Every structure is written in structure tokens, then in C-alpha cells.
Structure 1
Amino acid sequence: MSKIELIATATFGLEAVVAREVRNLGYDEVIVEDGRVTFTADESAICRANLWLRSADRVLLKMGAFEATTFEELFQKTKALPWHEWLPVNANFPVNGKSVKSKLYSVPDCQAIVKKAVVEKMKEKYRQDWFDEDGPRYTIEVGLLKDVATLTMDTSGPGLHKRGYRKLSSEAPLKETLAAGMINLARWFDDRVFMDPLCGSGTIPVEAALIGLNIAPGHNRSFAAELWPSVPEKLWHEARIEAADVVKKDCKLRIIGTDIDEKVLSLARYHAKAAGVAEHIHFQRIPLSEVRTKSKYGYIVCNPPYGERLGDVKEVEMLYKEMGRIFGSLDTWSSYILTSYPRFEQVFGRKSDKKRKLYNGRIECHYYQYFGPRPPRRTE
């Protein structure tokens, strides 16, 4: 198979996590930049990356990158790319665009020029003047950054956070990709207890179960490139067989999700069932103040309310103080908390061992990490 370049886009702060996921798939030629991880692979990686990347937003096929400071330069260099190797005669190829700090700042003009250049390339290849565009979708993006144009095609379709299990959502759902990233940053060991004591509609516990069972997050959905003739159906079939073969069917996980709201817990149970992991998660309606456990060396990963509305601040501060008391009593546990509240450490009552800037949608947050002690080594 010929080599291609793929780009796994990522939420700011999760690039290193996505790069680790890419390397775990066996792809070593990796370049990490803000918001993206570029890697070289063969065509089968389109299938495997879409199925397996837990924390990436989507997988793009990189068609080319070049400097462009004039519309003529953009047109000619776009036309020179091998579009005919990927686009069939009936391809539906809309063009999206973005421009940052570039001389070519008019995004609509750039989109129109790229569209025209691709059409001209198609005319040369297929020797016809009109294309119906009633076939599979190939969403092209022209991204201009500091006068460098990068041309890509989206292989994913809907974003990778759409796993297929969350048909319903609570008021402020956490994206599945960010939840998976939080768990991966926590370096949870699947033989330890995992708890989300503010679980809401269950995204974090469900993602933990998928990780613990080694279930490919994309196993239950389809992708744009599955309809591309240039990516053989055999490759998708092989990738899905591979994913099914490595599921840890005999693994017994101890995952707990609690919340005070029975309505969102019913959503959590629905999502866990839809994801096929319901038997591995124990959901319970209890207030945070009553959270107790005799288990040692567990992990807490949670996304509590942030107090974004002014009237919620005092209520959120009371919650964070309660979290500090409850989490502090679990002296062998590790705790990982995502919030945008700037005074979290003061209210929680303890400075974090480490914190990392992440974005929940457009909200700038910090991920506060409190490391518990290592468990004693097991004796034979």
C-alpha cells in the first residue's frame, strides 16, 4: 500500500494524548503541533484511526501543504494535487475554509478558488465539463496559517466524539473525546476502582469502561470514508474484525457513578446499556456528602459544575469544599477534577500535584491532578 499522511485533530491540551494513541496503533512517524497530530501510514490507517482514536476530534487525509500569498498561487498549487486519485466522477466535494494571519484572508474567496481548482483537475481526468456530485461525500478543507495552505479531506464525517451510544444528553454534556482524554491523562489502571461521584449522564464512567474493556470507541458507528471507492471495503472489514478480536471479554471492572439527580442517572444507565458496558458500571443515586468506600488506591475522575453563572458561584464553592473533605478522606486515592473555576484549589483546600489547561468546548478549564500513593507490591 502507498504511504499517505493523516492528521488527527485534537482539542487544545490533548495533543500529547492523541499522539500516544496514534503511536499505540503502531504509527511512529508522528509530528505533534497545536491542535493536530500528523502521522504517516498506509490506507488501512484511515480505518484503524477512525475506529480507535479516543481523544481525537476527527481524522483528515492530508492532500498537500504549500505557501500561497496570491489567489493564482492557491489555484495552481491546489490544482497540481492528486485529487483524481481519491475523488470518483460522482464525488460530492464541498469546500470549507479558515484563515489565520494570512494574506489570503477572505475565506469565501479561498473556498471558491479551491473548488474551482479541484473541478479543473477533475475535468482533465474524467474529460467532462459537468459533475453531478451525487456520490459519496468528500469534505475538503483549505486551512491557511501564516500564508501556508493545508488541503485536507475529512475521513470521519460526524466528529469522533459521536460514538453512537449517547442518543440523549443532559443540560451540559461533556464530549466523549474529552472524557476519554481525562481518563488517559489520569493513567488509570483497570484493576483499580474507578469513580465519578458527580457522573451526570455517565460519559466519564462509560468511557472508562470502553477503555478498560479495550473496546474501540468507533465500533458502533460509520465513517465518511467507508463510502469512498479509494478505501477498499476489505480494509474496513479487517479493521473491525481486529477491533472485535481484542476486546477483553473476561475483564471485570469496578466502575462507580453516583449523582443526586435520578433523571440524569436514568440517562447514564441508558448510555451504558447502549454502549454495551452496563454490567461493568454501578450507578447509584446518593449525594456527594454520602460517598463512602472501603476500597483502596482507587481513582476519582470528574467534571463538576463550574459556576459559570454568577448566581451559581456560592453553591459551587460549597460543592468544592465538600469535594475537598470527601476526596481528602480517601487518603490512598488519586483525584482528577476538571473545572474552569479560577479559585478551585483554595476552595477545595489543597494545591494540586499537577494541573493542565484543557478546553471544554470554548470554556478554558484546568485539569487538577492529585496523586495518591502507589499500592504495595503484591506478593505471590
Structure 2
Amino acid sequence: MQKVELIATATFGLEAVVAEEVKKLGCEEVRVDNGKVTFRAGLSAIPRANLWLRTADRVRLKLGEFRATTFEELFEQTKALPWEEWIPEDGAFPVEGKSVKSTLFSVPDCQAIVKKAVVERLKQTYRRDWFEETGPLYKIEVALLKDTATLTIDTSGPGLHKRGYRQWIGAAPLKETLAAAMILLSRWQPDQVLYDPFCGSGTIPIEAALIGQNIAPGLNRSFASEQWPTIPRALWREARAEAHDLAAYGRKLEIIGTDIDGEVLKVARHNAAEAAVEGQIHFQRMAVGEWRTRKKYGCLIGNPPYGERLGSRGELAGLYRNLRELMQQLDSWSFYLLTADERLEYQLGKQASKKRKLYNGNLKVDYYQFFGPRPPRPKPVGSAEKEAEG
């Protein structure tokens, strides 16, 4: 089977999480760099990676990488790449770009040079001087970093965070990919309770339900490369059939989402219905200090309001007080909180077991992880009888 080199782009701080997901898909030669995970696999990895990667931003097909300090070098080496193996005669191939610490710092000029080089290459193959670009989309990116140019084609289309269920959003929405990463980093298991006391439009509970039932996050959306003639339609059909077969739709979950805003909970319920997981999540209007549970073990995962999301310092102090009391009550639970407030540990009177720097959009945040004791493992069936016999 033809092997291709792919790049799963990632938000800073999530590269290792994306790499773990890529490895679970069975891909080879997985390499982690800042903001991306590069790997090799067969053509079937393009549909499977797009369908299954929960924490990556998008999946790019790597065409080539080379050093370029002049426009001539950029043009000639771009032209030498096999664009015709992917872009058909009617393909649409806009070019976007970025340049960091490179001699070729003008992004518009680099985009124009790459576009011209691709056109010249395709002219040789298709024996024509003009391309109408009315067919499938092949969005090319030229990324220059320290004079190294990487040329890729986007296989995803809209970013992978666009699962298709979030038609309505609340204020300051959490990206779906970041919410999924928070859950994966918590090591939450589907047989545990998961509680989000600041659920807003429901992103964390919905992503938890998709993970808990092993539902591929891209199952209800389309991708740019589905229209590429180079990738047989059968591979997409097989990947979607596999995703349906692997989903544990019948698995019961205990996921709770609460918020003090009744209107945003209407949005959360609508989004959960769009994701077809509404039966797995209990949404309720409630302040964090009012929630009670008899469950001895569980995970609280949340994105507390801060900055513009909160009206006053008094509200913030009250929220932290309630959260501190809840941590004292649920002393055998694990707590995972994402916030830009660097005073969180001081406010809660407790040092995090682990802290991870992440980004929510352009905002630097920290993911505070307070580990509780491990729940006891259930005894194997028949062990009680054996103990009685002994």
C-alpha cells in the first residue's frame, strides 16, 4: 500500500497527547515537534486520522521539506515536487503561508511564488495554460521556519474541533479539541462519575460522552479530502464503518454538567442532542456550592470562569470558596481545572499534584491536576466464593 507522510497539527502543549492518539491508530515513525506530530502510514490513515483524532487541529499531507533562502530556491524546489499526484486538472489549490525567523519573511510573496511554481508543474502534466480550479479543494500551506520550507496540503477542511454538534455556543466557548485533551489527560474512565460544575454550553460533558462511548469525533461531519479522487471512496466507507462498529453506543455513563445560567444550559442540551449523547448527560441549573453526591470516587473536570467571564471579584471569591469546600467534601475525588488565574492554588489552599501549561485560543492557561486516591479495582468474578472456601 502507498505510504504517505502526514502532519497532525496541535495546540502548544498538546503535542504529546496528539502523538499518543496517532500511535493508537497504528501509525509509524511518529515524531513530535513544536505544534505538530509527523507520522507515516498508508492512504487509509487520512480518513482514519481525520475521523478519530480528538485533540489535533487538522491533518496535513506533507509534500516536501527543503531549505530556501531565496525566492528562486523556493520556486524551483516547490516546482520539483509531485503536485500532479494529488491535484487533478480541475482542482482548486489556494495557497496560505507563514514565516518565522526566516530570510524569506514576506508571506504574501512566498504564497505567490509557491502558487506560480505549482501552476508551472501542473502545466507540464496537463498540457494547458489555465486552470479554472472548480473541483475539489487542495489548500496548500507554505510554512517557513528558520529558512526551512515545509509544503503541505490540508486534508481536513474546517478544523477538527468543528465536530458538527455545536450549532449554538455560549460566551467564551472552550474549543472541543482542548476539552477532549483535558479529559484524556485526566485518565478518566467510563465507569467513573464525571462532573463539570461550570459546563456552559456543554463542551466538556459532550466530549466526555463521545470518549466514554468510543464515538469517533469526526463521524458526523465531512472532510476536504473525501472529494479527492486520489483517495478511493472505499477507504472512507471502510473508515466510517469501522468507527460505527467500534462505538459502544449501549454503554451507560454517569456524566453531570451544572451551571448557574439556565439559558446556557438550553444551549448545552441542544448541543448534546446534536451529538446524539443527550441520554448520557444530566444537565442541571445549580451553583457549584449546592452540588452533592454519595459517590466516593470520581473526576471533577472544569473550566472555571475568570476575567471577562465573571462580573466581580466578589463573585470570584465566592466561587473559589465553594470550590474549596467541595474539594474538602470530596477528598477522594480527583479535580482537574483549566484557568488563566495564576492564584488558583492559593485560593483553594492546596497545591496541585501536576500543572500543565496550555493555550485556549491565544490565551495562556494552566491545567491544574489534583489527584485523588485510585479507586479500588473490582474483584474478579468468583473471588468472594474462593475467599469463603479458604
Per the TM superposition, whether the score is higher than 0.5 is yes
1:377 pairs with 2:356:
no
What is the match of residue 30 of structure 1?
30
What is the match of residue 248 of structure 2?
248
How far apart are 1:295 and its partner, in Å? 0.6
Q: Secondary structure at the match of 1:56?
A: coil
Separation of aligned partners in 2, 1:26 and 1:317: 47
Separation of aligned partners in 2, 1:230 and 1:312: 56
Percent identity (aligned): 64
Tell me, yes or no, if the aligned pair for 1:96 and 1:141 is still in contact at 8 Å.
yes
- The alignment's TM-score, normalised by the length of structure 1, stands at 0.98
How far apart are 1:374 and its partner, in Å? 1.0
Separation of aligned partners in 2, 1:310 and 1:186: 26
What is the match of residue 101 of structure 1?
101
What is the one-letter code of the residue matched to 1:204? I
Hey, which bits of structure 1, 4+ residues long, moved more than 4 A? 308-311
Separation of aligned partners in 2, 1:306 and 1:221: 32
1:215 pairs with 2:228:
no
What is the one-letter code of the residue matched to 2:6? L
What is the match of residue 147 of structure 1?
147
1:266 pairs with 2:250:
no
Q: Secondary structure at the match of 2:81?
A: coil
Structure 1 residues 304-358: Cα deviation after superposition (integer angstroms, max 9, x where no partner): 1122589634422331232121122101100000000111110121110000001
Gaps of 5+ in 2: 384-390
Q: Secondary structure at the match of 1:29?
A: strand
How many residues in Structure 1 have an aligned counterpart in Structure 2? 380
Tell me, yes or no, if the aligned pair for 1:198 and 1:303 is still in contact at 8 Å.
yes
What is the one-letter code of the residue matched to 2:59? V
What is the match of residue 351 of structure 1?
351
What is the match of residue 342 of structure 2?
342
Structure 1 residues 197-235: Cα deviation after superposition (integer angstroms, max 9, x where no partner): 111110000000000000000000000000111111111
What is the one-letter code of the residue matched to 1:71? F
Structure 1 residues 269-288: Cα deviation after superposition (integer angstroms, max 9, x where no partner): 11111101111111111111
What is the match of residue 329 of structure 1?
329
What is the match of residue 70 of structure 2?
70
Q: Where does 1:146-295 land on structure 2 (aligned, <5 Å)? A: 146-295=146-295
What is the match of residue 47 of structure 1?
47
What is the match of residue 388 of structure 2?
none
Q: Secondary structure at the match of 2:307?
A: coil
What is the one-letter code of the residue matched to 1:202? G
Separation of aligned partners in 2, 1:364 and 1:311: 21
Separation of aligned partners in 2, 1:308 and 1:350: 25
How far apart are 1:376 and its partner, in Å? 2.0
Tell me, yes or no, if the aligned pair for 1:307 and 1:316 is still in contact at 8 Å.
no
Q: 1:322 to 1:60 in 2, by over 3 A?
A: same
Q: 1:241 to 1:121 in 2, by over 3 A?
A: same
What is the one-letter code of the residue matched to 2:152? T
CA RMSD, Structure 1 to Structure 2 (Å): 1.1
Separation of aligned partners in 2, 1:79 and 1:89: 16
Separation of aligned partners in 2, 1:328 and 1:116: 64
What is the one-letter code of the residue matched to 1:194? L
What is the match of residue 11 of structure 2?
11
How far apart are 1:3 and its partner, in Å? 0.8
Separation of aligned partners in 1, 2:73 and 2:224: 30
Tell me, yes or no, if the aligned pair for 2:299 and 2:333 is still in contact at 8 Å.
yes
Separation of aligned partners in 2, 1:148 and 1:194: 45
What is the match of residue 58 of structure 1?
58
Q: Where does 1:290-301 land on structure 2 (aligned, <5 Å)? A: 290-301=290-301
Tell me, yes or no, if the aligned pair for 2:172 and 2:309 is still in contact at 8 Å.
no
Separation of aligned partners in 1, 2:55 and 2:12: 11
